[in-house]
Structure 1
């Protein structure tokens, strides 16, 4: 009976960890088995800047450096676009999720000691 209480406490601890980490992937309530990730941006302009930088980097990669000249943007800097994309990719890395999983792993390991 005591072991069952300990296991219940561990499960409640895991649930609390998961509830406290808002940056974790969440199940999309509209689409079963799919998860969603929230991307935080300051405003619409920042979102457009990040998406356009990703497109610019892809075009530069396909066409070669300094050959990307869309009509609405004559002065595209490939290095600036690549930097924005790399910074955005770093923001997407799930550091909080990995930290939460480490804590869950510690809880599970500690429950095996009983």
Structure 2
């Protein structure tokens, strides 16, 4: 069932997941210590999502047609710094756990929403 959910999410909501993560990262990058995995960037002055991949869907709970679940997403984030008149950028990986909900009817997910987000690895 987990792979079925993962496939449905990738097929129907990939762009929505990407857009949510992009917006969250651009507006909240200072909440995460992204320099921990960086080699060149010392202070993150900007960040944007480069790539997002759903790794797994778990903790699925269904009540009638309403479904709640968690999703683990690996994100490649482009971070940037400015030093001595030069822009410095590099890509770092950050995993996020998304709390999601949807409606499952006729083997199709609808009304998908991301209800919460937390850093999975710190």
What is the TM-score when the length of structure 1 is the normalising length? 0.21
Query: Structure 1 or 2: larger strand share?
Result: 2
Q: Which has the higher contact order (CA 8 A, sep 6+)?
A: 1
Q: Give the structure with higher Rg (CA).
A: 1
What is the TM-score when the length of structure 2 is the normalising length? 0.20
Query: Structure 1 or 2: larger helix share?
Result: 1
